[in-house]
Chain A
């Protein structure tokens, strides 16, 4: 049984169908990449999974549970974390505060224990911090703990957003164009990290990417979208040689 399944999802904005009857499934432990030209509907798919957009048709299953009606703020509690194409960091907060927000779903304190900052509130902060430090070590963010986001270079910001998603301890990670805007060196690091997230942390990854050499290196399977429809899906070699996919990219 798949870990995650999208069934017949259709999303329409006015007359435009951003997604048209899209279905696919993902196995546990996979790195699954979605490719497609600009406006193909890739980000829309993520936004449907995050429950930001309401699909006009179709269902989504995660661990055999229908999550099509789950509240947006409960998605991360199920174990689905994401990053955003245009970076949605908390700009006027430090890296540490951003990462600590990744632990929000584990909050046990209530407002009273927080006002008095009871020992249990303090203990919770310590526990949050331990997990956050693991992620900081994993993604080499040691230098930036107390830096405000709006003082960071772009590459580090992208890294912080990935770190914040990892802090939620997800089972499924959605990465929207993780390599865009990165330098060559940063992209190489990212490739290693993504592989490590899969093998060391055991997290399943769905990734949207444009950089085909990067895609071919890290992906287990690829899905190609165009105009909201699935063009092809399969192993990297199959996609590389698929005529429809070539056509879609040439015709751009």
Chain B
């Protein structure tokens, strides 16, 4: 068992709470940096994709996991980011200038959508965001000047820092750097008043309001920030797929993001990475499973969405804290060995609450 002896308030404010943390995270980053030495292009591509998914996951996690607002149409933001980026690159804007524009545009789109939509709550919000996803897909088809419509839009792969995006090692590093930067940005937001206000809204709107949190403003801000992260992921995704078509940003991609945060663990940034690894490798896993299933089942076209749905339900019912929650339990088991009690994570007695305040 580790006891952290705190002598300064900054120890609570800092990101790494103790030297152990600092050591393990540095080691992890170091391993990630030397990975291209041992992995071939295929796996580097996969990991780049997982990095992109993680960034998008951070976006949705801030909205759903931390502010408690559901979104079933988040692929729309991936689309906004991807198309904006591809459009800017096509028009000769360099990569380093395009990315900030993408972030700002997605932020503003998020705010513009967030302000009206966030008057809704619960089920109605879920339906509205679902509709938003469909509307976005439709806009990508119709707004041909900007998106190329159904013909699609090739994504230019310009030089950046003298390197090409076709080089999978270079692309891997770009994704990695953006993921690390996104992580830091998210952690910073969450350890600041704004992030705390999000959590407050999630846990009790009425108390948040009575403590001076402007609900409308912060919900819209959460939507905007979420959009900005997801839009950034969209820009990287554009490079990854190389050719944009409207149907990429469909409901299935939105559900993949939802699966990512639920499986990873609601309300945890670690969870976004765990979840991204999971959904990143899931198609391969399903492909492998197909081979072992009887062909009457294995060759069914709807297998993937069905499995996604099953996994989602399974996690919500049996592992509501996601992979991150499971990891915390295992960690605690070893820290406390042999005195671990199962009750530690049992749901505590819930005090009766009524709707009245």
Contact = CB atoms under 8 A, between A and B. Distances in A.
A126 B210 contact: no
Interface string A94-105: 001100111111
A6 to B, nearest CB: 18
Contacts, number: 131
Nearest to B188: A117
Interface stretch (A107-115, A194-202, A213-221, A235-243): A107-115
A84 B207 CA distance: 8
Interface in A151-186: 151, 154, 157, 164, 168
B13 A97 contact: no
Does more than half of chain A's interface fall in helix, strand or loop, or is it mixed?
Answer: helix
Interface in B200-238: 200, 202-204, 206-215, 221, 225
Contacts of A97: 196, 199
B357 interface: yes
B212 A76 contact: yes
A115 B189 contact: yes
B193 A114 contact: yes
A115 to B, nearest CB: 5
B12 A111 contact: no
Contacts of B9: 125-126, 129-130, 133
A82 B193 CA distance: 20
Contacts of B10: 122, 126
A56 interface: no
A90 B212 contact: no
Interface size class, chain A: 35 or more
Contacts of A65: none
Interface stretch (B31-39, B121-129, B327-335, B348-356): B348-356
A224 interface: no
A104 B204 contact: no
A168 B212 contact: yes
B329 to A, nearest CB: 15
Contacts of B215: 73
A115 B193 CA distance: 11
Contacts of B197: 101, 104
Contact of A90 (B185, B200, B214, B348): B200
Given A86-B354, A88-B357, A126-B13, A117 B192 contact: yes
A154 B352 CA distance: 11
Contacts of A74: 212
Interface string A37-68: 00000010001001010000000000000000
B73 interface: no
With a 10 A CB-CB cut-off, give which of A90, A92, A100, A124 has the most chain B CB atoms.
Answer: A90
A50 B210 contact: yes
A2 interface: no
A57 B353 CA distance: 30
B60 to A, nearest CB: 18
A43 B221 contact: no
Chain A CB count within 10 A is highest, among B200, B215, B221, B357, for B357
B81 interface: no
Most-contacted residue by chain A among B188, B195, B203 (CB, 10 A): B203
B196 A104 contact: yes
Contacts of A93: 196, 199-200, 203
Contacts of A73: 209, 212-215
Interface in B179-198: 185, 188-189, 191-197
B267 interface: yes
A84 B188 contact: no
A82 B210 contact: yes
A85 B357 CA distance: 6
A101 B357 contact: no
A111 B189 contact: yes
Nearest to B205: A88
Contacts of B204: 88-91
A77 B207 contact: no
Given A47-B357, A73-B213, A91-B203, A109 B196 contact: no
Nearest to A75: B210
A151 B208 contact: no
Given A75-B210, A89-B203, A104-B213, 14 more contacts: A43-B357, A76-B211, A88-B206, A88-B207, A90-B202, A92-B202, A101-B197, A104-B212, A109-B193, A111-B194, A114-B195, A116-B188, A122-B13, A150-B348
